[in-house]
Structure 1
Amino acid sequence: MKYDYIVVGHGLAGAILSYTLRKRGYQVLVVDEPRPSSASRVAAGLLNPIAGKRFAKSWMADAFIPAADAFYAELEAHFGQELFVHKPIYKIFSTIEEQNTWMANSASGGWNDFILATHTTSTHQPTIDDPYGGIMIGRGGSLLVEDMLRLLTAELLAQGLLLPERFQMDQLQLTAQGVKYKEQEAGHLVFCEGFQVVQNPYFKWLPVKPTKGEVLEVQTENFNPECIYNKAVYVVPVGAGRFLVGATYDWRQPDEQPSAEGRQELAARFSQITSQHFRIIKHRAGIRPAVRDRKPLVGVHPKYPQLSVFNGMGSKAVQMAPYLAQQFADALGGGAEVMPDIRISRYLSLYYDYIKQQNTQL
């Protein structure tokens, strides 16, 4: 059978793109090696419209979040199961300077869709340490990532559309009609490999830095599960008195092994949010594909039009991927191009440097 697309990788980005293509009627084959420590499976699936210590609206939040809401609602209807948990996010001020930064930013307007309340003093919740107050953010929540990937994987397997194996680059052939992988043919192949793109001979020139993130699952009593909390780390309720606490960012030692340093850092930061006793149940680590300019990497290879990449969303894949998958599906189908900010063509100089280096080595 000849497919329209082969998608390599079935983490968040690959799963959302392959589902989007299948919903449009395309024949899609997914190649993915199941890895329980993949970044997508370790992630808490957080969607947060407000970014970082500067208290700025996340890039393109006004476009990304409605698209994400619609996509996850469609998936929930498709599978008959809740997959996205809508919860307000209480972003706690660490200092009076942070409070002042927010008050200055909020004066500019444009926040009404996302801010439910601003607290300039403590909310006096008995288990929360918030002496400077914080902001209550709406339109956020968390995706049940493992549940979503499990359901989509089972569907692909049932339809014979998944090869559960590591992609073998030496089995890929580029043809006049597209690509051939082992015995499977397709018109186009999309790499959604996450950080492993740094080993991809066609796209290793892209400026991806593997970045390790560690997450704790903790058990604690009498801690309010009605919110997600954010103060240096996120705290996401997952039921029965359990919470995910994360994440660290480590580009110095990007492996998938939980570290004593990561455990200590996360436990210390959680203790800055609450004085409640807690017990660590799990400690996991994964590797994200971080990009130099913090924008995704989407587009067709500059030399081989049969190949493209959909990658580089890092910790924002839950928020970005639904919108970008729709846009990329339009582009692959011959519609409008993807937006300039995410095109891999912005790094063409790196590609030419890479080719020059390869030729020099030959």
Structure 2
Amino acid sequence: MNVDFLIVGQGVAGSVLAWTLDQRGCSVILADDPALPSASSVAAGIVNPLTGRKLVHTWKANELFPFLHQFYSGIEQELNVRFFHPKNIYRPFRSLAEQTSYLAIANDPDVQQYVSKAVDNQVYSQFITNPFGGLEVTQAGWLDLTEFVRIIKGYFIKKNQYFEGYVRVEDLKISETTTDYQGLTIGKVIFCDGVQARENSLFDWLPYNPVKGQLLTAVAENYSIKNIVNQGIFILPVRDGLLKIGATYSWHDLDWQTTDDGRAFLESKVRELLKVPYQVVAQQAGIRPSTKDRRPFIGLHPTQPAVGIFGGMGTKGVSLAPYLAEQFSRHLLDGEDLEPEANISRYVSL
């Protein structure tokens, strides 16, 4: 049997790429091993065009953000489901100095398009410590990753194009133009296996710089803010009374275990911010597939063009994947050039 693509790994990157290629009329098999941990199953799925203390423009924000809103809401309409939640992000100022500098940054025309003109600080002050007011970042939101991955999986199962199991590199018979695997002849095998790509002998030369992150889930019955709040940590209302609080960043102890330190850090931060009582009901840890230069890894193998990679999206997979999957599919199907900053050719000399 012949197939155009085998996509290995069904986190956000694999799900988005599989959908994109399927919509272009390709035959796609989506493979995933539920026994392997996945960063997407832990991540909060927040998309934010202005990040960090200096409201830095997310890389390629002007291209990524209109595209991702269209992409996710397009799937929702087509399948009559809901997993994408556009919301503003409220950023309370920590001091008068921060208020002054943020408002000055917000006047920059590049930044202005992502900042709300008027903010009702009163609405927040019942629940959030905000003596200096705050600003609201627009075109943001969150993707319910568990739901999104479940729906994409169901879509491919229905088409009989889903394989549950571990695809071992050693079992692929790779030739110049195709790959044979378990009776299939595959045009291209694309690895979207997140941080596991470091153990993949085809791509272990790429310089990953994984980051561990931890999240809390909390119940706060008297909390009715609908937007995301962000001040060093985020408070994401998943639904009434249920919050996700995160996240930690750590470049050592790279395992999938939660820690007391992680919880203590998040709780100390949230106590400064949250005025209403809350109770932690769960804690999760994940490893984000970040890279040394903070740019994704996309492209075909330099000497074995029948295999490729689509990954290394770190903390921003939900924002990056739709636009870059579209670009990668045009590269694969129409021969268009890849974004140089994301193309793995920048590391081929390694």
* Letter of the 2:337 counterpart: E
How far apart in 2 are the matches of 1:273 and 1:280?
A: 15
| Matching residue of 1:103 | 103
Counterpart in 2 of 1:171? 171
Matches of 1:95 and 1:238, distance apart in 2: 28
Give the Cα separation in 1 of the matches to 2:89 and 2:22: 33
CA distance in 1, matches of 2:211, 2:29: 28
Partners of 2:138 and 2:121 in 1: CA distance: 19
**Normalising to structure 2: TM-score of the pair?**
0.95
SS at match of 1:342: coil
RMSD, matched Cα: 1.8
| Matching residue's letter, 1:249 | Y
Residue in structure 2 matched with residue 10 of structure 1 by the alignment: 10
Q: 1:137-168 CA deviation, whole Å, 9 max, x = no partner?
A: 11111111111111111121222211111221
Q: Is the 8 A contact 1:121 1:132 kept in 2?
A: no
Partner of 1:269: 269
Summarize the Cα distance change of 1:38–1:340 in structure 2 as closer, same or farther, 3 Å threshold: same
How much has 1:280 moved relative to structure 2?
0.6
Q: What residue number does 2:87 align with?
A: 87
The residue type paired with residue 274 of structure 1 is: L
**Structure 1's 24 and 154: CA in aligned 2 closer, same or farther, altered over 3 A?**
same
Residue 37 to residue 276, structure 1, CA distance change in 2 (3 Å): farther
Cα gap change, 1:132/1:349 in structure 2, threshold over 3 Å: closer, same or farther? farther
Structure 2 CA distance for partners of 1:184 and 1:115, relative to 1, 3 Å: same
**1:191 equivalent in structure 2:** 191
1:147 aligned onto 2:160: no
How far the C-alpha of 1:180 sits from its partner, in A, is 1.2
After TM superposition, give the deviation of residue 259 of structure 1 in Å: 0.9
User: How far apart are the structure 2 equivalents of 1:118 and 1:254?
Assistant: 42
- The unaligned stretches of length 5 or more in structure 2 are none
Runs of 4+ in 1 over 6 A off after TM superposition: 118-124
In structure 2, relative to structure 1, the CA distance for the partners of 1:219 and 1:124 (3 Å cut) is: closer
The 8 Å contact of residues 53 and 98 in structure 1, kept in 2 or not, is answered as no
How far apart in 1 are the matches of 2:184 and 2:95?
Answer: 57
Count residues with an aligned counterpart.
350
Alpha-carbon distance, 1:36 to partner: 8.1
Identify the residue that residue 353 of structure 1 maps to in structure 2: none
2:64 is matched with 64
Looking at structure 1, the residues matched to 145 and 87 of structure 2 have their Cα atoms a distance apart, in angstroms, of: 16
Per the alignment, residue 132 of structure 1 pairs with: 132
Does the C-alpha gap of structure 1 residues 118 and 91 become closer, same or farther in structure 2, counting only changes over 3 Å? farther
**2:222 maps to which residue?**
222
Alpha carbons of 1:124 and 1:22: their partners in 2 closer, same or farther (altered >3 Å)? closer
In 2, the alpha carbon distance for the partners of 1:23 and 1:121 equals: 43
